[in-house]
Amino acid sequence: MKIIQMLPCLNYGDAIGNDVIAIHHALQENGYQSQIIAEVVDQRLGNDLAQTIDQWKAPKKDDIIIYHLSVGWKYINYVTDAKCRKICIYHNITPAHFYKNYDSTAYNYCLTGIEEVKRIAGAFDYCLADSDFNRQDLISYGFKCKIDVLPILIAFDDYKKEPGKGVIRKYKGTPGANILFVGRVVPNKMHEDLIRAFYLYKKYYDPDAKLFLVGRYIETDVYYRRLKGYIDALGVQDVIFPGHIKFNDILAYYSIADVFLCMSEHEGFCVPLVESMFFHVPILAYDSTAIASTLGGSGILFKEKNMTEVAGLIDRVVKDQDLRKAMIEGQDRRLKDFDNAVVMDMFLKYLKDFIAQEK
């Protein structure tokens, strides 16, 4: 019996890619024969980790395909037509409307992706969802099979690496609070709301504050350019887009952050929340989609984007040491639920139960 993980794109350094690789290693360590097949495999991952779709061989009847669903895929019929058992790990597809005015390719991908999810609802024997929000999504799309919740596997060992000294030297100990958000510069993450709240915080509470918006972007992206236009129009200083930086520099930004602020309006899980917990950075987040379930009662959630109040809340979290301590303690407790061993045991148990049930 072979377990074949399939996905459109195995990227280097993103949450789904890391999840796939972690599952692959865990399967191998537990005696399963494991393979990864993707349409495109990032060369930075080397040649031995995964095979491309042109190396696809029809699976045997007792094999299991685990399909990582996060976007539409032109080779989805390879999965749905396969004569073997099929599990879907659903990472969520961003609603297309976020991209409507910004990126027609992404807009169409998301639109066709959601149509595809509805179409393949009956093709899977079992589903795993990163969050209860994702689970509810699958149910709304017509999935009738059993769906369990399994958090994304996060490579915590990687976070123990040495943080980038350059970033620390430049910003640690400088006047003003360091406010951090980590995530790709894409419309659903609502960077404009982060900038607006930061503008008010800087104006009314801390003129020396800095806002670090760590995440990938392309200079010519329409959304990124509109954000830059917004920053210029507001005249707000110290909004820093480090861009696609080395991993150890990301660690450095976490290590110098005073607050993690999230205004995202669509997340299937939000790995940076867990990363903030790991680095003991107090979290303030807008309560949308899967944010609350990932936080699990830790951090502070707000249901309305009253930016003046958000600015006041940032100031309170930065200055009130007792509050910071209580938040970090709560986050430390929640972090234990994402321990690799805990999540992996959960996954292996789900897998064993699935195999036993299907027999």
Q: Please give the residue ranges that form the binding site for another protein (CB under 8 A).
A: 8-9, 11-12, 39-40, 42-44, 74, 101, 105, 108, 111-112, 115, 192-193, 196, 199-200, 204, 216, 218-220, 222, 225-226, 229-230, 233-234, 244, 287, 292, 295, 297-304, 306-309, 311-313, 316, 323, 326-327, 329-330
Of 220, 305, 227, the residue nearest 261 (C-alpha):
305
Q: How far is the CB of 348 from another protein (least distance, A)?
A: 30
Q: How far is the CB of 266 from another protein (least distance, A)?
A: 17
Ordered DSSP codes for 278-290: HTT--EEEE--TT
Distance from the first to the final alpha carbon of the chain: 13
Q: Could you give the angle at which helices 340-358 and 15-29 cross, rounded to 10 degrees?
A: 70
Q: How far is the CB of 326 from another protein (least distance, A)?
A: 5
Q: Which is nearer to another protein, 9 or 240 (CB)?
A: 9
Rounded CA-CA distance 167/149 in Å is 37
Q: How far is the CB of 45 from another protein (least distance, A)?
A: 10
Q: Which is nearer to another protein, 63 or 258 (CB)?
A: 258
Rounded CA-CA distance 241/214 in Å is 6
| Per-residue tokens: 157 | 């060992």
Q: How far is the CB of 245 from another protein (least distance, A)?
A: 9
Q: Which is nearer to another protein, 179 or 311 (CB)?
A: 311
Of 27, 75, 71, 82, the residue nearest 49 (C-alpha):
27
Q: Which is nearer to another protein, 139 or 200 (CB)?
A: 200
Q: Which is nearer to another protein, 43 or 55 (CB)?
A: 43
Q: Which is nearer to another protein, 34 or 294 (CB)?
A: 294
79-90 exposure pattern, b = at least 16 Cβ within 10 A, e = fewer: beebebbbbbbb
Of 222, 200, 162, the residue nearest 307 (C-alpha):
200
| Per-residue tokens: 235 | 């005249």
Rounded CA-CA distance 277/343 in Å is 16
Say if residues 95 and 251 touch (Cβ distance below 8 Å). no
Q: How far is the CB of 115 from another protein (least distance, A)?
A: 8
Q: Which is nearer to another protein, 41 or 344 (CB)?
A: 41
